[in-house]
Amino acid sequence: MAKITVLGAGMVGSAMAKDLSFNHVVTSADLSEKNLSALYEFDIKTIKADLTKPEVIREVVHDSDVVLCAVPGFMGFKTVEAVIETGKNIVDISFFPEDCFMLDKKARSMGVTAIVDFGVAPGIPNLLLGYHNERMEINEYKCYVGGLPKARTLPFQYKAPFSPVDVIEEYTRPARYVKNGELVVMEALSEPEYLEFDEIGTLEAFNTDGLRSLLYNNNIPNKIEKTLRYPGHTDIIRILKSSGFFDEKEIIVGDKSIKPLDITSAILFDKWKLQPEEEEFTVMRIIFDGIEDGKHVEYTYNLLDRYDKAGKTSSMSRTTGYAATAAVNLLTEGMYNSPGINPPEFVGKNDESVKFVMNYMSARNIIYRKSLKTF
C-alpha cells in the first residue's frame, strides 16, 4: 500500500480519495471543512489546509509516495510546481491554463514523473491517441464530449458539474484546432453540428478549446475537439455572450462598478448547480481515421456513463476521477516512470499502461466501446 495525498476534496477530489482508499493509505487536504466532512466515514485522513500557499503544500505532501492534484485550475500550476519541488511523483487534473511544459525542466531535474491532464477529456482521448499514433498513420482525430443532466430543464437544459465561471470561460476562450496541418482559431460555440447517440438522441456539438497538448505533440494533420450539449442550449449562450453578459470590463450600475461576468456567474451558479443525487451522464465519441497496415481504417470509441445511484457518485466524478486514480496506480505499481511532464498521449505510447488504465475503468463500469471500419 502506497501513501497517497489528494489535494482538493471537491466533487471529483473526494471521489478519487474514496476510490484510492480501498488499496492505499490516503490523505485528503482541502481548506473547506464541509468538503472534508464528506470523507469522515471513510478510512481517509483529512487535513484542513490552505493550498494556495506553497509552503503548506510542501508540508502536507512531505510523507507521500504519490500526490494527486484536484485543485481549481487557477491554482493548478503553482500547486504542481510546489509538489515537484518536493521530489514527489504527481498526477494532476486541475487543467491549469498555463503551458505545462514550463515545468518540464524542473520535473526532470528532480526526477519527478508528473502526469498531467489525466481526466475524461483531456485524458482518455489523449491516451488512446498516443496508443493509435504508434500503430497507424492518423489523418484525422475527432473528439466529441459533454456532461449533461438527465432532466432537460428549460431554458438552459444544462447543469454544471464544476464552477459556472469555468464553463463560461470555455464558451468565451477562442477555440483552436488543426486542419490540413495548419492551426485554425475560431470563436467558441462556432461551427455547430448535430450528432446522434444511442439512448440519448440528438446532441449539438460546437467548437471549444479542448485539444490542449494535442495541438503540438504529434504530426496529425487534422484534429479537433467539440463540446456536446442538448440542442437549444448554445442559442441562449450566444445571446448572452453577444449581449455582453460575459464581459469582464466593469460597468457602472447606480453608484457601483461591477463586472457583468460576476453577476452572470452568480445567477448561473444557482441555475446550473448540480444538486446532490441529481442524475447526469457523460457522453463521448472519439474517432481516429487513417492508414493502418496499408488499409484505410476508422476506429471509433463511444462512452455513455451515468450517475452511480448505489455509490451516489456523479458520472463526471467517475469518468474524470477514476482515470486519474488509474494513473496514480500506474505510478505506485512502477508501471510508468518517465521523469518530466507527461500528458496522457505520452503515457499512451506504452501498451501495458493503456491496457491497465482501460481495464481499471472497465472494472468500475466505465466502458469505452470500440468499433472498427475498414474502407
Domain boundaries, the chain: 3-118+315-366, 124-306
- The residue whose grid cell reads 490540413 is 180
Q: Give CA–CA dist 44/33, Å, rounded.
A: 14
CATH topology of domain 3-118+315-366: Rossmann fold (3.40.50)
Q: Residue 328 pLDDT > 90, yes or no? A: yes
Residues 27-47: tens digit of each pLDDT: 999 999 999 999 999 999 999
- Range with lowest mean pLDDT among 42-51, 58-67, 136-145, 307-316: 307-316
Asked if domains 3-118+315-366 and 124-306 share a fold, the reply is no
Backbone angles phi and psi of 25, in degrees to 5: -90, 115
For residue 162, pLDDT beyond 80: no
Query: For position 276, what pLDDT does the model report?
Result: 81
Distance between CA 59 and CA 330 in Å, rounded?
24
158/231 Cα distance (integer angstroms)? 11
Q: Residue range 63-79: average pLDDT?
A: 95
Q: From CA 109, how far away is CA 59, in angstroms rounded?
A: 21
The fold of the 124-306 domain, in CATH, is Dihydrodipicolinate Reductase; domain 2 (3.30.360)
**Contact predicate 260/178, CB 8 Å:** no
- For residue 236, give the amino acid letter: I
For residue 160, pLDDT beyond 90: no
Q: What does the pLDDT look like over 271-319, one tens digit per residue? A: 998 888 899 999 999 999 999 999 999 999 999 999 999 988 999 999 9
pLDDT more than 70, % of the chain: 99
Mean pLDDT of 63-77: 95
Mean pLDDT of 131-156: 96
Measured in degrees and rounded to the nearest 5, phi and psi for residue 110 equal -95, -5
Instruction: Describe the crossing of helices 351-363 and 124-133 by its angle, rounded to 10 degrees.
Output: 140
For CA atoms 15, 211, 331, 364, the dihedral sign is positive
Map grid coordinates 518530466 to a residue: 340
Report how far residue 67's alpha carbon sits from residue 175's, in angstroms, rounded to the nearest whole number: 31
| pLDDT tens sequence across 182-201 | 999 999 999 999 999 999 99
- For the record, the C-alpha cell of 55 comes out as 509552503
> Average of pLDDT values for 318-324?
97
Tally Cβ neighbours within 10 Å of residue 94: 22
- Per-residue model confidence (pLDDT) at position 277: 86
Distance of CA 68 to the CA centre of its chain: 14
Question: Cα–Cα distances in Å, from 13 out to 8, 39, 296?
Answer: 5, 10, 41
